[in-house]
C-alpha cells in the first residue's frame, strides 16, 4: 500500500518539485484489481465490483482520450477507494458518475480516499505554508503538480480546510465537484 507522506518529505518535495504523482494504475495492479475500459456507460464514469474477493474496475471508454487523462486518474483512484474502503464478504457494485459522486457516505469515502492519495494533505499543508495564501492560481498549480482537474483540487482544498485538516488554507465556496468528460476536438 501507499505510504502516507511526512510533513518533512512534503516540504522537501514542494521545495524541489520532485513530487511523483500517485499512479492509480500501478496501485490497481499491485492490489490485483483488474481495470478495463467499457462502452455503454451513459453518464457513468466508473464502476467497481467485487467478485469472489477480487476487485474489478470499469472505466468509461472516453476516459482513455488524452484530454481526459487527469479525470481518468481521479475516477480510477475513486474506484480504488471503493476497493480499499469497503470491507466485508458482500460488497455491492458501485456505479459512479456526476450524479452519485457526492451523494452518500460511501461515495464521500471513496472520493476522499482518492484525493488523499492523489493529493496528500501533507503536501497541501506544505504548499499552503510555502505560499502563504491559496487562491485560484495556487489551486491551478497544485492541480498541475498532482495531475488532477482543477475543480477536483479546489474541492479537495476546501474539503480539507472545512474539516480543519489544513492550516492557513482559505477555502472558497467550493462544496462539490462535478466530473465532466471533455473531447479532443478543441
Contact set with Zn ion (CB under 5 A):
94, 96, 107, 110
Give the nearest distance from C-beta 54 to Zn ion in angstroms: 18
Of 80 and 126, which has the nearer Cβ to Zn ion? Answer: 80
CB atoms within 10 A of CB 172: 15
Of 110 and 134, which has the nearer Cβ to Zn ion? Answer: 110
Give the nearest distance from C-beta 47 to Zn ion in angstroms: 9
Give the nearest distance from C-beta 107 to Zn ion in angstroms: 5
Give the nearest distance from C-beta 78 to Zn ion in angstroms: 5
Which residue blocks in 17-135 are alpha helix, DSSP H? 24-30, 69-85, 105-118, 121-131
Of 77 and 110, which has the nearer Cβ to Zn ion? Answer: 110
**Per-residue H/E/C for 147-176:** CCCHHHHHHHHHHHHHCCCCCCCCCCCCCC
CA 167: distance to chain centroid?
21
Task: Return the C-alpha cell found at 74.
Answer: 481521479
Give the nearest distance from C-beta 13 to Zn ion in angstroms: 29
Residue nearest to Zn ion (CB): 96
Of 105 and 173, which has the nearer Cβ to Zn ion? Answer: 105
* CA gap 169, 33 in Å, rounded: 35
The set of residues, in sequence order, having a beta carbon less than 8 Å from that of 7 and lying 6+ positions away, is 122, 125, 126
Of 134 and 148, which has the nearer Cβ to Zn ion? Answer: 148
Tell me if 14 sits within 8 A of 126, measured CB to CB: yes
Give the Cα-Cα-Cα angle 100, 151, 108 (nearest 5 degrees): 35
Phi, psi of 180 (to 5 degrees): -150, 130
Give the nearest distance from C-beta 94 to Zn ion in angstroms: 5
Of 22 and 94, which has the nearer Cβ to Zn ion? Answer: 94
Amino acid at each position: 500500500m501507499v505510504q502516507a507522506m511526512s510533513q518533512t518529505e512534503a516540504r522537501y518535495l514542494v521545495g524541489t518539485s520532485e513530487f511523483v504523482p500517485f499512479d492509480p494504475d500501478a496501485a490497481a495492479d499491485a492490489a490485483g484489481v483488474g481495470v478495463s475500459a467499457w462502452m455503454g456507460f451513459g453518464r457513468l464514469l466508473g464502476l467497481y465490483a467485487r467478485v469472489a474477493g477480487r476487485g474489478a474496475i470499469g472505466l468509461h471508454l472516453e476516459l482513455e482520450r488524452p484530454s481526459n487523462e487527469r479525470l481518468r486518474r481521479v475516477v480510477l483512484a475513486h474506484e480504488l477507494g471503493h476497493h480499499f474502503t469497503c470491507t466485508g464478504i458482500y460488497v455491492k457494485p458501485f456505479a459512479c458518475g456526476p450524479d452519485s459522486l457526492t451523494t452518500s457516505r460511501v461515495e464521500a469515502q471513496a472520493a476522499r480516499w482518492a484525493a488523499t492519495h492523489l493529493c496528500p494533505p501533507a503536501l497541501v499543508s506544505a504548499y499552503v505554508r510555502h505560499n502563504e495564501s491559496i487562491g485560484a492560481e495556487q489551486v491551478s498549480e497544485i492541480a498541475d503538480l498532482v495531475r488532477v482537474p482543477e475543480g477536483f483540487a479546489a474541492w479537495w482544498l476546501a474539503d480539507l480546510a472545512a474539516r480543519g485538516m489544513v492550516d492557513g488554507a482559505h477555502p472558497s465556496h467550493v462544496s462539490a465537484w462535478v466530473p465532466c468528460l471533455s473531447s479532443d476536438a478543441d
